[in-house]
Amino acid sequence: MTVAVQAAGVSLAYRLTRDRAGTMKEFAINMVKRKVTREDFWAVRDVSFSLSPGEVLGVIGPNGAGKSTLMKMVARVLPPTEGRIVVRGVVAPMIELGAGFNQEMSAFDNIVLYGTLLGRTPSHMRDRVDAISEWAELTDFIDVPIRSYSSGMMARLGFAVATDIEPDVLVVDEVLSVGDTAFQEKSKARIRGLIDSGAAVLFVSHTMPTVKEMSDRVLWLDHGRMVMVGDPDEVVDAYARPA
């Protein structure tokens, strides 16, 4: 069996805002003073794992542990500063859904634009608009500009577009809490369907029962480093145990 995602010693450094010269004047002054300090903030440090098709890896850890940064590296948004990531197949990134929605455009146009941003073709998206809006239960509002949508409606639309393919790798960053209870169940069912069809899944969640229920393995991150990786029950219990 081939590997879907392979991360080898992956690290990522952000340059902290306070170290980044905001204006050219500051930069020039700092240059003269020889004070251009490049202090890096390592959000993820030396993380390695591999994921096979159909396997689900839950990622847990406190806020600021580097979970979202790791997701963005797998989704190709951030290139690793060190180390190497190899991803085989089509990636469906579900990170802050609806990024790229344009407030002034109708839902129809936004479905096409968002799907195209995710790497599909405009003509394919036009064919899928009906199915997507029906699944998101927004068919009646398809010609309305997105700016009059509620945040729940927008999240539903984003989820529907992002999952409207059969990805090889699915990256889910805390988006399972979209919409009301009924819609949450519907979204979970859809994700399970994608897993059953062979997608490798990386997902971040703070809801420990969901993590235990859905993962095959769990990766615990803290301060960008791997604390523990392995059996969901063991890792979640160790994480939940007061230190």
Partner 1 sequence: MTSTYLYDSDQPRRPIATELTNLWAYRGLLKLLVTRDLTVRYKRSTLGVWWTLLNPLLTTTVLWIVFSQFFRFEMEGDVPYIAYLLSGILFITFFSQGVIATGSSIVNSASVLSKVYVPAEVFSMAASVAALVNFGISLIPLLVIQLITGVGIPWTVLLVPIPAFFMLLMVAGLGLLVASAAVYFYDVLDLTAVLTQLIGYLTPTFYPISFIPEKFLPLIYANPLYSYLTIFRGFIYEGAFAPTWTFVVMVGSSVVILLVGVWVFTKSWKNLVVVL
Tell me, rounded to whole angstroms, the distance of Cα 115 from its chain centroid. 16
Residues 116-135 that bind partner 1 (CB under 8 A): 116-119, 121-123
For residue 233, the minimal CB distance to partner 1 (Å) is: 31
For residue 50, the minimal CB distance to partner 1 (Å) is: 14
User: 23 is written with which tokens?
Assistant: 């204006």
d(CA 114, CA 127) in angstroms, rounded, equals: 14
87 makes contact with partner 1 (CB under 8 A): yes
- Residues in contact with 191: Cβ distance below 8 Å, sequence separation at least 6, in sequence order: 163, 170, 172, 176, 201, 214
Taking alpha carbons only, the member of 242, 224, 211, 176 closest to residue 80 is 224
Beta bridge partners of 41: 14
66 makes contact with partner 1 (CB under 8 A): no
Residue 84 or 206 having the CB closest to partner 1: 84
Residue 166 or 231 having the CB closest to partner 1: 166
Residue 24 or 243 having the CB closest to partner 1: 24
Torsion region of 98: left, alpha or beta (phi above 0 gives left; psi -120 to 50 gives alpha): left
Beta strand 91-95 with 169-173 is parallel
For residue 122, the minimal CB distance to partner 1 (Å) is: 5
Residue 89 or 183 having the CB closest to partner 1: 89
Residues interacting with partner 1, by CB under 8 A?
12-15, 20-25, 27, 72-73, 75-81, 83-91, 93, 95-96, 99-100, 102, 104-105, 112-113, 116-119, 121-123, 166, 168, 198
